[in-house]
């Protein structure tokens, strides 16, 4: 019969293999975690950039309706105004949809923006306060988004 090898001897003989296995498992675990984190951050960035684009479009509509309003409200302007408001509502809806993808704070900020838009959008052509209120909400959300992007790895 063969000579019986002790556990200590077997461990010593296979120490390099055991260490290699532990290193491989640790590397695989880290790589999986890193890949997952990278993908999550990529998704956050993508949603953030789209949110910034939608906020810019809403700001453009707000500025256009406020600063380009004619002195007399003719039928052509009213059609343009109504169409722009509908587009604004589309941007608000997309902002609302994107916000929960980032955090609850973004959802709350989107709700504030929606409430401000709902309250002020009809007065954009006649009220500087309406334009200012909407612009402040948009700016707050843009600042929040830029700060969020800066925190990502």
pLDDT at 52: 97
7 confidence band (pLDDT: 50, 70, 90): confident
Region 127-151 average pLDDT: 96
pLDDT at 50: 97
All domains of the chain in start order, with CATH = 43-151 (1.20.120)
* % of the chain surpassing 90 pLDDT: 84
128 confidence band (pLDDT: 50, 70, 90): very high
Tens-digit pLDDT profile for residues 108-127: 999 999 999 999 999 999 99
Q: What one-character DSSP code corresponds to residue 23?
A: H
Phi, psi of 37, rounded to the nearest 5 degrees:
-65, -40
CB-count burial class (<10 Å; 0-12, 13-18, 19+) for 107: middle
pTM assigned to the model: 0.81
Closest CA to 109 of 150, 66, 55: 55
pLDDT at 83 exceeding the cut of 60: yes
């Amino acid at each position: 019969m063969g000579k019986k090898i002790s556990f200590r001897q077997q461990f010593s003989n296979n120490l390099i293999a055991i260490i290699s296995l532990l290193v491989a498992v640790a590397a695989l675990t880290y790589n999986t975690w890193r890949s997952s984190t990278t993908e999550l951050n990529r998704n956050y960035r993508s949603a953030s950039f789209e949110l910034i684009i939608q906020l810019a479009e809403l700001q453009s509509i707000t500025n256009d309706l406020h600063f380009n309003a004619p002195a007399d409200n003719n039928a052509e302007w009213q059609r343009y105004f109504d169409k722009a408001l509908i587009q604004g509502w589309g941007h608000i809806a997309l902002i609302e949809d994107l916000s929960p993808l980032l955090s609850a704070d973004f959802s709350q900020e989107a709700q504030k923006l929606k409430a401000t838009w709902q309250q002020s959008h009809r007065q954009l052509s006649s009220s500087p306060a309406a334009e200012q209120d909407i612009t402040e909400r948009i700016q707050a959300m843009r600042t929040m988004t830029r700060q969020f992007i800066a925190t990502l790895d």
